[in-house]
Amino acid sequence: MFKSVSGVLTAAIAVAALPAVSAHAQQATIPARYTQQHLNWQACDDAPTLECAAMTVPRDWHHPEAGHDLTIAVSRHQASDPAKRRGVLMMAAGGPGGMGRKRPANFVKQSPAVGAAYDVVSFDQRGVGRSSKATCQTDAEMTDFLAHDYRDRSAAAIRRVLDNSRKLAADCAKRSDGLLPYITTEQTVRDMDLFRSLLGERKISYYGPSYATMIGAYYATLFPQRVERAVLDSNIAFNGSWQDFETGQPKSFQRRFEQDFLPWLAKYDGIYHYGKTAAQAKANWERQRAALSKKPLTDGSVTIGANQFDNATINAVYEAQNFPMLASSLSAFGHWKSATPKEKGTAEALAANYGTGFLAEYFSVTCADTSWNRSTDYWIKRSAKDNAQLPLAGARELSFSAVCANWPTATAPKVKVTGAGLPATLMLNSVHDPATYYEGAARAHRALHNSRLVTVTGDGDHGQYQNGNSCVDHVVEDYLLNGKAPAHDITCKGKPLPVPTAG
């Protein structure tokens, strides 16, 4: 699952072994045209506080002379206090499918002390943004892939879902000019290490949220001697596969919806009039969804059916600050003709389908990093159970899993994350995170030796640093600025849920 409200999305990490010594030897054979290139820094045309450049990388780091070169769009915000500068903090984006190039601007705005001490750098990962991109389908084709009602388990509906998933996988392979096998996490971290080298840095520190925790863990495994400090925020399960991780998400999204959002919605029935108990609110939500399944709402080019209704809810529950927006959107869906332009805009943004550019990288990474069960019968049976018991995210399980079941055979080297050779690493996770669920984060913590887990209790937000929690922010900044990692795992109390205003 992924997140479009704030652009942070989720994923999982692969297992198996590519020894770090082999990685280093492979680096030593990279042609000089890559390792000796000059980054021509210029003011970013769309982010005035940053500098941008284009970095050339091989399509395949393991066979750098084969295939055409790729371009990686990189950025930097130089330390605002050179006297306090202590190095480079590299960031990556979540997803897979998120873009990182512009992220340092907001990051240093929210954490000026970190921005004073570090050059904060980032990049659009291979496959997205202004870097070399994959192409899968047109917007119209992707809209059709995400149309219909994923809860429909009729024979005709299942055939349609499977046909659409096969078509998407085939279109991605056909239209991406041979790029798909090389849009992997393992290739991305080698891009990162070239970036580090071209910056003239022996070591980097790192901050990564969501899927970027996987990127950071891979980098730390292949290049442990290059890591000074690392913060992994809202973690996936490092000791499992993408399949293992993603089939765990229906439970955590349902938990967040039923245990956090619905009780909150019922508490403010005087404002939203959606039910005085969580059970009543859920019943009203189900009735509204059923109505949209039977007759989707259309307004110009906008169509909101059952899947888009699900999407609005999934997007919103990533962060509690979005609860009021979701509540008002549920109301707007019920009186669309009289809804204000602001209400409609909020509802449409929450319900928006994932873009074709996002899903091109999302499937490239999730389907290629680790192997998938390719049995159609398995996914029909598995998804039927999750669709019935955990429908918020379980309804779409067949569609998304069937894409990976039809993806070209994965060839990416596998990386077993252990934490060997790393300094103390900081991990953050809330207990009700719907996307990077706590149970997976705890497993990742046990697998990543010498890590410290900051558990945020009474909270379900995805992304904890710079989220308004002073306890978390203090721990992270004491670590990044002063090198003080907690001696052991600690807890921070989560923020209170938002209080809506009437009107």
Kindly state the average pLDDT of the residues 299-312. 94
Q: What is the pLDDT of residue 353?
A: 80
Model pLDDT, residue 354: 80
> So what's the pLDDT on residue 4?
38
For the entire predicted model, the pTM comes to 0.93
Q: How do 204-209 and 297-299 pair as beta strands?
A: unpaired
* Dist CA 357 CA 289 (whole Å): 28
Question: What is the per-residue pLDDT for 414?
Answer: 87
What per-residue confidence (pLDDT) applies to 5? 36
In percent, the amount of the chain with pLDDT more than 70 equals 94
Least confident piece of the model among 24-38, 39-53, 122-136, 249-263? 24-38
Q: Mind listing the pLDDT tens digit for each residue in 146-162?
A: 989 999 999 999 999 99
Q: How would you classify the pairing of strands 51-57 and 42-43?
A: antiparallel
Contacts of range 267-274, beta carbons closer than 8 Å, 24 or more positions apart? 268/327, 268/500, 270/502, 271/327, 271/500, 271/502, 272/327, 272/328, 272/330, 272/331, 272/500, 273/331, 274/327, 274/330, 274/331
Q: Where are the domains of the chain?
A: 20-133+180-243+414-493
Q: What is the mean pLDDT of the chain?
A: 92
pLDDT per residue as tens digits for the range 174-198: 999 899 999 999 999 999 999 999 9
Q: What is the pLDDT of residues 6-55, one digit of tens each?
A: 333 333 323 233 333 334 334 448 999 999 999 999 999 999 999 999 99
Please write the tens of the pLDDT for every residue from 409-456. Answer: 878 888 899 889 999 999 999 999 999 999 999 999 999 989 999 999
Q: Given this model, what pLDDT does residue 503 score?
A: 56
Secondary structure of residue 9 in the 3-state scheme = coil
pLDDT digits (tens, 9 = 90+) for 329-367: 999 999 999 999 999 999 999 998 887 889 999 999 999
CATH architecture of the region 20-133+180-243+414-493: 3-Layer(aba) Sandwich (3.40)
The answer for residues whose C-beta is within 8 angstroms of residue 212's C-beta and 6 or more apart is 91, 92, 93, 94, 98, 100
